[in-house]
Chain A
Amino acid sequence: MKVGLPMQCSDFHKIADSYLDDELLVETNHEVISHLERCSACRGELAARRELRARLRSAFANSVALQPTSAFTNRLHAQLRADALGETKAVSRGQWMAIAASVLLIVSVGLLATRLATRDTSTELVDGGRGNQSDAANILQASPPPGAINDAVNLFMMETAELAAGNHRDCAVDYKLAEEPISLEEAGRKYDRAYINLASAVTSHKSELMNQIKFIEAHSCVFDGKRFGHVILRDGEHLISILVTDLADPPGADTSTGTRQAIVNSSSEGYQVSYLATAKHGIFIVSDLEAQRNSQIAALLAPSVYEHVRRTERIA
């Protein structure tokens, strides 16, 4: 359109679509309006286009073929509702994974977390001749999706970390004598199969780092009313606890196979706590080591412990 000259029909045709869609600048809009006031042909054309658009809209709204059936919308509504409220397994699984990942985000930002890719661990396991990549290979520290920070999970993690740290302190470090621990075998028979052979699951992993770590003792003990499978290791002057306890549907759990698992690192009462959940158990690795060293050891040990616990869950 030429500047300064009144709008011509050809100009109008070029911008008629944008005018119809209300996408023109105010000034241009005014020019169109004044052209339309003068030109009945363009007014007619515009009215016909409006009419065509209205017809298209009503065609979509009325065409039987394009409408969803009420059976479908009702079914979908019910299904989405169930998914949203966590009444079905499929989505709650996905949500747990999102939660696990978001906990990792919180932890990595706010708490003394150190990121350590356990993918390397998996490779080492395979290199070590075990050749078993099933669950172990899937454990890694997941990247969190943006935005999904969840205070409830954060709180849960901090408080359970406290419990695991408490057990480590009272049982492994301070030897507070209250109730004598029992053997893993006995606890395995009486309470939870996951305890049987837990010690060998922990010590089965061989690597250079693990050569520096000594096995001290394994038993099952009760802390704060909760039974744990407990394997104690020593790294130089530091004690390390590997704790396994049954949790029904634990936060962060992965109940599917083949999905990646997240190790969550946190600290409590001066101890570093790494946490990992299977479908029915929580696994904690606790020590007063540097955060990075603790999570490094956790990353090395977690795959075989995780796999061991999962195996007993599958048998049960």
Chain B
Amino acid sequence: MVLIACWDRIRPNRTKLDSLIHKFRRTRQDERAREWSAFETEAMPHIDDLFRIARWLVRDRTEAEDLVQETLMQALQSFHRYEQGTNVRAWLVTIMYHTRSKRIRSASRLRLVSDVDERIAETVAFEPPTPNGITEDEVLRALEHLPASFQEVVILSDVEDFTYKEIAETLDVPIGTVMSRLSRGRKLLRAELGKYANEQGIGIAGAGK
């Protein structure tokens, strides 16, 4: 091979490559700061909501914290996919449900609940009236008695104020299913609360109708 030598443009300080890397890092740093600031404003205020749902889903504080953490880290990484102006809470909750179902699958303890749940709900054939004057504790205890698939629609609708469409997207079920689960879930909840009312002689709205 012919003798090869290289051309060395002498630079006293930084090489071109070094300054390119430096420039790259600075631009990247600016972008990161902008993205974090948007994420902090949009997503971070919903930590409490996410935790409440997580805590209800997994029933264990540490596990709920893990789930919220994983959800927000995931959300941060895919924040560029979030459409500005849409319901960020619904977007976050959807990520949380995905994260959770991934976990359940990986731990291979997928629950086959839906069929059973729906049949239980069918057994409440009558229209239970809504009791008045119930306490917060009673409401939570009654909710715990509902099958999980009804609990989640009731929480997402009544507590989180999601639209039917948002619930359908979050849980990845058809809107019709959301409506029927919500209607049956609330019916079950009223029936459950009716038991306390009967035990404690609490008034019932629409009684005597």
Contacts and interface: CB of A to CB of B under 8 A. Distances in A.
Interface stretch (B6-14, B97-105, B117-125): B6-14
Contact of A160 (B6, B11, B20, B186): B20
Nearest to A234: B1
B169 interface: no
Interface residues on B, range: 35 or more
Given A49-B130, A53-B158, A225-B15, A83 B24 contact: no
Interface residues of A, number: 82
B77 A17 contact: no
Interface in A103-148: 146-148
A86 B28 contact: yes
A21 B72 contact: no
B196 interface: no
B1 A179 contact: no
Interface stretch (B85-93, B106-114, B135-143): B135-143
A232 interface: yes
Contacts, number: 213
B48 A226 contact: no
B130 A45 contact: yes
Interface stretch (A149-157, A203-211, A260-268): A149-157
Given A17-B186, A76-B72, A163-B16, A147 B81 contact: yes
Contact of B17 (A41, A77, A160): A160
A191 interface: no
B6 A85 contact: no
B48 A245 contact: no
A225 B11 contact: yes
A257 to B, nearest CB: 21
B6 A167 contact: yes
A170 interface: yes
A274 B135 CA distance: 68
Contacts of B24: 152-153, 155-156, 251
Interface stretch (A66-74, A291-299, A301-309): A66-74
A47 interface: yes
B51 A66 contact: yes
Contacts of B136: 55, 58-59, 62-63
A225 B8 contact: yes
Most B C-beta atoms less than 10 A away, residue of A45, A60, A156, A226: A60
B68 A76 contact: yes
A80 B73 contact: yes
Contacts of A7: none
Nearest to A45: B206
Nearest to B13: A225
Nearest to A174: B7
B36 A178 contact: no
Interface in A94-109: 94-95, 98
B17 A247 contact: yes
Contacts of B131: 48, 52
Contact of B159 (A60, A65, A226): A60
A178 to B, nearest CB: 4
Interface in B41-76: 44, 47-48, 51-52, 55-56, 64-65, 68-69, 72-73, 76
A65 B32 contact: no
Contacts of A148: 80
B132 interface: yes
Contact of A224 (B9, B29, B39): B9
A79 B23 CA distance: 26
A52 B130 CA distance: 8
Contact of A251 (B21, B47, B81): B21
A250 interface: yes
Interface string A34-57: 000000011011011101110111
Contacts of B7: 170-171, 176, 178-179, 223
Contacts of B11: 224-225
Contacts of B164: 21, 23
B177 interface: no
Given A52-B139, A67-B48, A179-B8, A13 B65 contact: no
29 contacts: A17-B179, A48-B204, A48-B205, A52-B131, A55-B136, A56-B143, A57-B159, A63-B140, A65-B55, A66-B51, A76-B47, A77-B44, A80-B76, A85-B33, A86-B32, A147-B80, A152-B31, A159-B16, A159-B20, A170-B7, A177-B3, A178-B6, A221-B6, A223-B6, A224-B15, A225-B10, A226-B15, A230-B6, A247-B17
